[in-house]
Structure 1
Amino acid sequence: MQSLQLLFTDFLRTFKDSKGNFKYRDRIREMIIKERKSLLIDYEDLINYDPQLIDVIEENPDIALQAFSESIKELVRQENPDYAQKVYKFYPRLNGWIKTTPIRGIRSDHINKLVLIEGIIVRATPPRQKLFKAVYLHTLPSGEQHEFEWPPNPNEELGDELEKPTYCPICITSLEEEGVSKGRLARGSFKLLIEKSKYRDWQLIVVQERPEEVPAGQIPRSVEVVLTDDIVDVARPGDRVSVVGIVRLSKGSKRSTKPVFSVFIEANNLIVAQRFLEELKLSPEDEEKIRELSKDPLIRRKIIASIAPTIYGMWDIKEAVALLLFGGVPKIAPDGTKIRGDIHVLLLGDPGTAKSQILQYTARIAPRGIYTTGKGSSAAGLTATVIKDKQTGEYFLEAGAMVLADGGIVCIDEIDKMRDEDRVAIHEAMEQGTVSIAKAGIVARLNARASVLAAGNPKHGRYIPNLGLTGNINLPVTILSRFDLIFILKDIAQIERDRSLVRYVLETHETLANVEPEIPPDLLRKYIAYARKYVKPRITKEAQRLIEEYYIELRKKSAENPEAPLAITTRQLEALIRLAEAHARMKLKNKVEAEDAAEAIRLMNSMLEMVGLDIETGDIDIDTIMTGKPKSMREKEITILNIIKEAVASDESSRACIKLSRLRGEAEKLGIDEHTLERIIRNLKKMGDIYERRPGCFAPVD
């Protein structure tokens, strides 16, 4: 170990960077100034200095890291003796390690060896303080007292359990010449001096395989990681991390006699990937290829054509998915208010319209994508929950799909099949990009800045236009109103279109191996990551004017006639801006131009004409989406409610109510048909405005 320490000391003292500066001398001075305990050691520097050092560190990490720590302390002592005396231990944090070990690839050969793992934090305990050097007071039968540290060896620390001293090291030092046995030196009492003992921060996290790395049909595997000192609490559930550490055996419970052990990793360093974009390694060649691709005048068409290429047509839907993948630019107002850049898209359609295929392809093509289903997702599974560890009794914060997909895409199939109590959980995540949790003494807010691509089936089997959007899907308006774009996929018989579809499907099956997207999936994934990382387009005056004119034009009718419905609100205005920014990003442009705004307006208009129409009046009424019913239906409900109230008020009987037959007559005079009246009565009962006093007779709720 002594020779190894000399080697590390020489490395730290003499290594120079490309500019001729003493890299680690400078880092040590900076560490002292900032009063840190850790020194970042780069993998490439060790390779350049002596490649054999890498093998030594990986094969004998305990000895190597201890020698490295002593070398750092020696150099700190030369620079600042007081600071070296103050800090018990300095840490060489290994950075830039390249030999990755898959979590499911950890075997017995790796025990007590150094490994690098990558994954997502799914659980984390609150930071704790771990006792590593105990100070005891030894009181002899004679009344004589001694204070000492345990374990007595300066390089030893307490393990997972608090060990009672087996002897007094001060007594054995003073009496060993007299031949006194250690057993006799254990006489008297040993009292732990809690205030004088030494502690360091400690945290346990669970790192799980990244979703895109899990083999088909397999369950994601995870491993516990112990963090200490200054790498505690630097990451939270949902963060993607790289961990360099030593594989250790877990002792398990005391009562267990089985010779089977689990493993955990004692972390040396933990690096957080701040954004999912940093996980995609973009080489200079990749960046050059991406920039060349962006200059193609047909780049927009090629990107859209590369979304689920085996699915025929659906151009607008594929474009919406492409815009969702690129996303808008998130902003933070001066007062701290966050404006999301994530785009949410809902596909509602008849069976067999390829909704699930689009979702699955999107989850695969996204730099970070998670696919889940409504029936198989709970509130905790989508957002976050607190669970209790059976062995330690610790409470863990476990991240759900929305948190794990932070910075990426969550694809939720059959969202209409979710239970109401589970569906409510994604409200905050969709609008604010966060998940708040307060359970078991843990109060936290986790990032969930993910775009949502959801699909649902009409509750009557097929989409019925006369029922409108809310009458066709089992989703509350609070969720519907958060989607920037909503598309209806109807399976309508059209001979020419069906002929083209059949030919396309048959050709696809015949030449399946030759069905290649315009842009290869790997390149498209890198293109999206590059755009989201480097391209932050700002909206131009021309684009602003176009969006402003569109917004004012749609609201003009409501301004001129207070009785007219609202066609658009500020929520759709913000969606327009996000769509325009995403369109500009698609071409790697730093400006949102008029053509980008025009395309965003076209998609928005297409959606409003598809799902925002009042069936009765033919006017665009955004309340169809925002409140679940158009203005015309609300007015009819108010009219019927007033008729019921007036009829009951004019009757002095204590059990007064209006019969359904009379209500039908009154409704007929107003032009309200029987089917609509039944819907109105059903809605009024659901809202608690009326009740059925006796069968077929209604009264208002007081």
Structure 2
Amino acid sequence: MSKISERFKEFLGSYIPTSSDTQDPKYPKIIDHMYANGIYSLEVNYDDIIDFDFQLATDLVNNPKRYLPEINLGLEEFCTEAHNYDGKRMEVFTVRFDNLVKCDRVDIKDIRAKHINKLIQLEGTIRFISEVKPEVREAIFECQRCREYITITQDGEILKEPIVCENPECARNGPFKLIEESSTFSDWQGVKIQEKLEKLRGGQLPRDIDCVMRGDLVEKAVAGSVVRIVGVIKIYQEKGKMGKKTTYSKIFEINNMKVLSKQPEELEADEEEEEEFLELASNPEICNMIRDSIAPAIFGALEVKEAVALMLFSGEQKILSDGTRLRGSSNILLVGNPGIAKSQVLKFVNNAAPRSIYTSGKGTSSAGLTAAVIKDELTGGFGLEAGALVIADEGIACIEENQKVLTLEGEVEIKNIKKGDLVINYNKDGTEGLHYVQKKIYKGKKEVIKVKTDNGKELIATPDHKVLTTKGWKELEKITGEELIFLKHREIWGKTKIVSKEGLGIRKVFDLSIDKEHNFIVNGLVVHNCIDEIDKMSKDDRSSVHEAMEQQSYHSSLELIINDKREKIGQYIDGLMEKNKDKIINGINCQILEMEEKPRIMSTDFNTISYSNITKVSRHSSPKEFIRITYSNGREITVTPEHPIYIYEKDGVATTEARRIQVGTLVPLVVKDDICKGEVTNVEKFPNETEKYVYDVTVEPYHTFIAEGVILHNTISIAKAGIIATLNARASILAAANPKRGRFDKHKPLVDQIELESTLLSRFDLIFIMTDDPNEVNDKKLANHIQKMWNNATDAINPPLDIDKLRKYIAYASKECKKVALSEEAQEKLNEYYVGLRKPSAEGEKPIPITARQLESLRRLVESRARMRLSTTANIADAERILDLYKFTMENVAKDTETGEIDIDMIMSGTPKSQRDRITVIMDIISSLDKKNNNEGAMLDEVYKDARAENISDSFTRKIIDELKQKGDVYEPRPDRLKLTLL
């Protein structure tokens, strides 16, 4: 045995922490627990190594390739001597290090050549995680000449083979055959870690690094988990078409992984801060104080600041009994002239919300939209275009301060537990585990209940704290007397029942953050810790911000015209995959291939038909059934049930799922390079009996292609494939956009002035028009404000709450007031407003001023305002203030300039009722004149003349006729004649 392994054995057997109250060595007890539970890895605090032997600690970091195997050998020898571990075991003894010193903690973006082959520590978010694969550890080869077996230990990514046969009578150089059934394998998993986004500022892009983990680390975390990893940077030479390159790619081989809490520690309020926040909340002006603390450097814009404050205190998501999810977060859009301080508001929010991203210009989209995408302080999620990572963490349940937690040293009251203590936990396989406390969290004072079990055990905790039952994790208040609860009594795991529940009022409560299994033992009962495991989320949450990960693809038989050659999509994509195996991106149940050479295919923007390029192809695991759709041109396509199909609706082209298509549905078809209307003549559903894959292509820029004379939708994206771990986790969006022509025109509809579709526009709860109108009084105040800032920049801005206190207050409110109810008076106020606005529309020809979507928005905002006051009940004052704010925004964005009426369709569809009425008049004129001319078409001049008689301008008539032509509702049988398409 080497000096290194001997020295580490000595450390294991004799090290006593300087802070220890006993003279017992630290690690023998832990190793005893390893033996009792069949565990083969030991976590060691790096500080302990430094304390024991500074030189050993230094050499370990600088030369892990030599030291890690020797240290692992030392652990194996120690365990074998102490407990006579089975020498035929499959597992490998591994020492896993944690808590490296500051100089060895590196941000992912700062990894450089000097870190190669060094032991370092990183923190980040798991962006992608692969399936678990077997990796050969000891490969057994058979010499094909003499049948000698040769064992080669594998320690890298590339399989090592024997050079010469070890049989001295043979001693030839092969050939050798790998005998897989005799070889030893271990678990392997690939992950991509992205740096923590709260560290990014000023539009920086997050960096990531590819990592591998082995053994008991696999499946330790899920996509979206925030982790701390310790490991070694390895490099592999890149290859090009001309040979090996001088550049190398990096892979981080993980030695240890710890799942961290997703709430930044600096946002946790202590008891003194809690008292301060409660005193602030009792101030009747607290909502105005928070408003005035938003972007204090910006003069005025009080309504905008108030809306932003409401967004930061967004309401909670609602989940109905049928699984339907109602959005709890609020979205706000700022539209205005350049230089009006829109981006300054976004940048302030980016700093006020610790888990946020700010991007501008092309960082968001070609539309020139700038966005700060934020999440509730505690839940820590954010979403930015398709593919931005979203993280959800919703645990606030807690344990009363005097309850006893089972640790390696015995039972300890939870209030006395410290970070780094070892606690006993219950593993999914029914065994006992041992894990370090990552953090103890003071949760303030909460309502608690006491439950008793039939064997005399008691637990005092908040009603929503979860305990492990035979039916999974359940909140205490929801457990019936018939359900069995897991418990540990001395050395025996068993089950018990709750026999009584009793409310005990308000008590101080705490919670612990424990990695891996996320549970610990309190008074013998298995309780859940504060981290809500992402893998427990419902299936509906596992979707990207922009699209669901659904099977939306085509049957292999679909024929495409690619580079002017007819190809079946299945054979074409299978052939590409076979030729480019090393370039395939493996997603969740799918494979994607980026196209280096971009083949041509016919595409359309529904105005013109032209060639576009295929940029990606994919194949997906096939579904259980298909939908075959036949069109009026005699062609048919076969698709998966969820696939979007283009159809005509009254407002133009839209999409619907294939399974919802009906015979007679109008669809866009292509005839001789023209787009015209056709219809669906048959829809058939049939089982999948032969197809292994379904296929798709990505066509830029319109995401359409033409096959069988039908305009088809392409659906593949990286987010859909699940390559980027995105969760639709209730993100709030604050966005700002400039008008298309530079300055906003109050006399034109909003939808005509910005590059956002009405379908997206309608998702914003509040929309503000920010203009720079000359006003002598306001201009003088603004000028004085600017001069004051420049004269004394530090003292000129003194908000009621500085940004650090505001961030903590938001986090505290989100934690303490997660569930907000509306008082009966507040609900009645909203209902009266909603019904009162809609009543004139129901009785006559008035436009619709509000829909159920806006009522939901109002409800969300009212809850947010209550949360600003640290109240779990929204009162009538909250409802009245939100209604005032809503009226202010609707006057600016939804008023029909022609009628002066509020018309929600100004936002929802971009076409107000007054305009729809005129379109109907023009279509009636065309129809009437067509009949008058013996169905030979309406004369164009006569259409203009009759439209003028109805007070419709020539410019509007010309615009509507052009739009009707594009939609296929009107066509010209000959020049200067118009006819309606027969429906």
Q: Is the shorter-chain TM-score for this pair beyond 0.5, marking a shared fold?
A: yes
- Aligned ranges 1:130-169 → 2 under 5 Å: 130-141=135-146, 145-151=147-153, 157-168=154-165
Matched, 1:341 2:331: no
* Equivalence for 1:382: 385
Q: 2: CA distance between counterparts of 1:350 and 1:436?
A: 36
Give the letter for the 2:236 counterpart.
S
Q: 2: CA distance between counterparts of 1:331 and 1:47?
A: 50
Q: 2: CA distance between counterparts of 1:52 and 1:530?
A: 45
* Equivalence for 1:202: 188
Give the letter for the 2:913 counterpart.
K
* Equivalence for 1:606: 888
Q: 2: CA distance between counterparts of 1:331 and 1:213?
A: 31
CA contact (8 A) 2:766 2:886 kept: yes
Which one of the candidate residues 316, 321, 325 is aligned to 2:303? 316
SS at match of 2:228: strand
Deviations 1:421-441 (A, max 9, x none): 88999xxxxxxxxx9946897
Q: Which has the higher strand share?
A: 2
- Aligned ranges 1:47-58 → 2 under 5 Å: 55=58, 58=61
Q: Which moved more, 1:617-626 or 1:376-385?
A: 376-385
Which one of the candidate residues 473, 476, 479 is aligned to 2:754? 473
* Equivalence for 1:406: none
Distance 1:34 1:116, change over 3 A: same
Distance 1:515 1:273, change over 3 A: farther
* Equivalence for 1:224: 210
Matched, 1:647 2:929: yes
CA contact (8 A) 1:140 1:187 kept: no
Displacement of 1:322 in angstroms is: 1.7
Matched, 1:592 2:883: no
SS at match of 1:446: coil
Matched, 1:662 2:662: no
CA contact (8 A) 1:436 1:445 kept: no
Which one of the candidate residues 361, 376, 393 is aligned to 2:583? 393
Structure 1, unpaired ranges of 5+: 152-156, 172-179, 399-419, 426-434
Give the letter for the 1:89 counterpart.
V
* Equivalence for 2:786: 505
Distance 1:107 1:640, change over 3 A: closer
Matched, 1:118 2:123: yes
Give the letter for the 1:325 counterpart.
L
Distance 1:453 1:188, change over 3 A: closer
Q: 1: CA distance between counterparts of 2:98 and 2:891?
A: 55
Distance 1:445 1:51, change over 3 A: closer
Q: 1: CA distance between counterparts of 2:18 and 2:783?
A: 68
- Aligned ranges 1:449-468 → 2 under 5 Å: 449=729, 450-468=731-749
* Equivalence for 2:270: 284
Matched, 1:363 2:340: no
Q: 1: CA distance between counterparts of 2:748 and 2:787?
A: 35
Q: 2: CA distance between counterparts of 1:622 and 1:79?
A: 76
Give the letter for the 1:282 counterpart.
E
* Equivalence for 1:531: 813
CA contact (8 A) 2:200 2:357 kept: no
Q: Which moved more, 1:464-473 or 1:220-229?
A: 220-229
Which one of the candidate residues 743, 763, 776 is aligned to 1:482? 763
SS at match of 2:879: helix
SS at match of 2:583: coil
Q: Which has the higher helix share?
A: 1
SS at match of 1:185: coil
* Equivalence for 1:432: none
- Aligned ranges 1:510-521 → 2 under 5 Å: 510-518=791-799, 519-521=801-803
Give the letter for the 2:152 counterpart.
W
Q: 1: CA distance between counterparts of 2:97 and 2:821?
A: 43
Which one of the candidate residues 683, 688, 702 is aligned to 2:968? 688
Matched, 1:549 2:832: yes
SS at match of 1:158: coil
Deviations 1:393-414 (A, max 9, x none): 352779xxxxxxxxxxxxxxxx
SS at match of 2:257: strand
Distance 1:215 1:681, change over 3 A: closer
Q: 2: CA distance between counterparts of 1:25 and 1:608?
A: 70
Deviations 1:566-616 (A, max 9, x none): 222222122122212222232333333333333332222222222222333
Give the letter for the 1:226 counterpart.
V
Distance 1:679 1:251, change over 3 A: closer
Distance 1:34 1:516, change over 3 A: farther
CA contact (8 A) 2:820 2:872 kept: yes
Displacement of 1:53 in angstroms is: 7.5
Which one of the candidate residues 74, 87, 91 is aligned to 1:88? 91
Displacement of 1:279 in angstroms is: 6.0
Give the letter for the 1:147 counterpart.
Y
- Aligned ranges 1:415-454 → 2 under 5 Å: 437=717, 446-449=726-729, 450-454=731-735
Distance 1:130 1:216, change over 3 A: same
Distance 1:673 1:378, change over 3 A: closer
Which one of the candidate residues 3, 9, 13 is aligned to 2:6? 3
Displacement of 1:185 in angstroms is: 3.2
Structure 2, unpaired ranges of 5+: 367-382, 389-548, 550-576, 589-698, 705-714
Matched, 1:494 2:775: yes
Displacement of 1:186 in angstroms is: 4.0
Q: Which moved more, 1:277-286 or 1:244-253?
A: 277-286
* Equivalence for 2:107: 102
SS at match of 2:321: coil
Distance 1:602 1:208, change over 3 A: same
Q: 1: CA distance between counterparts of 2:980 and 2:22?
A: 84
CA contact (8 A) 1:12 1:25 kept: no
Q: How many residues align?
A: 647
CA contact (8 A) 1:118 1:240 kept: yes
Give the letter for the 1:202 counterpart.
W
SS at match of 1:264: strand
Distance 1:22 1:601, change over 3 A: farther
Which one of the candidate residues 882, 889, 897 is aligned to 1:615? 897
CA contact (8 A) 1:327 1:341 kept: yes
CA contact (8 A) 1:118 1:241 kept: yes
Give the letter for the 1:698 counterpart.
L
Which one of the candidate residues 316, 339, 344 is aligned to 1:352? 339
Q: What percent identity do the matched residue pairs reach? A: 34
Matched, 1:245 2:248: no
Q: 2: CA distance between counterparts of 1:308 and 1:423?
A: 39
SS at match of 1:227: strand
CA contact (8 A) 1:539 1:581 kept: yes
Give the letter for the 2:314 counterpart.
G
CA contact (8 A) 1:117 1:244 kept: yes
Q: 1: CA distance between counterparts of 2:22 and 2:155?
A: 43
Distance 1:448 1:701, change over 3 A: same
SS at match of 2:213: strand
